[in-house]
Amino acid sequence: MTLLNIVLYAAVRCGSPPAVANAEVTVESEEFFVGDTATYRCASQYQFDQQSANGSLVVLQADGTVASVCAAKGEWHIVPRCKGEGAWHIVPRQSGHALFNFSSIVDIVHHS
């Protein structure tokens, strides 16, 4: 990768993270560049759907939030959805938790 490629890559911006019904989004700035993160948390009585609005699989972080990253093409890679009942069920295990709905099992990703 040349210096020119690095400079062009760093200049790519995303618009504001998409608003999500029944969720709060936390950001660290008002301008968003490739690699910046927006963190979503569903309102009480709501849970994340396992599939995002743009078709990506949602990975729940250990604190119950979902992170979306400004991707290289200037789009947010995950646009989560918050649903009322039954989107996820958390089952304790010896190593972390297992998240599942009625059709699949997905492990929580622990970030240190």
Give CA torsion, residues 60, 71, 73, 76, to 10 deg.
40
Mean pLDDT, range 59-77, rounded to an integer? 91
Q: Looking at residue 107, what is its pLDDT?
A: 40
Q: How far is residue 76's CA from residue 34's CA, in Å, rounded to a whole number?
A: 9
If one counts every other C-beta atom within 10 angstroms of the C-beta of residue 66, the result is 23
Q: Residue 10's pLDDT is what?
A: 54
Size of the chain in residues: 112
Regarding pTM above 0.85, the answer is: no
What residue segments make up the domains of the chain, in order of their start? Answer: 3-84
Q: Could you tell me which CATH class the domain 3-84 is placed in? A: mainly beta
Mean pLDDT within 20-46: 93
More confident residue, 17 or 105: 17
Those residues with Cβ within 8 angstroms of residue 8's Cβ, 6 or more apart along the chain or in another chain: none
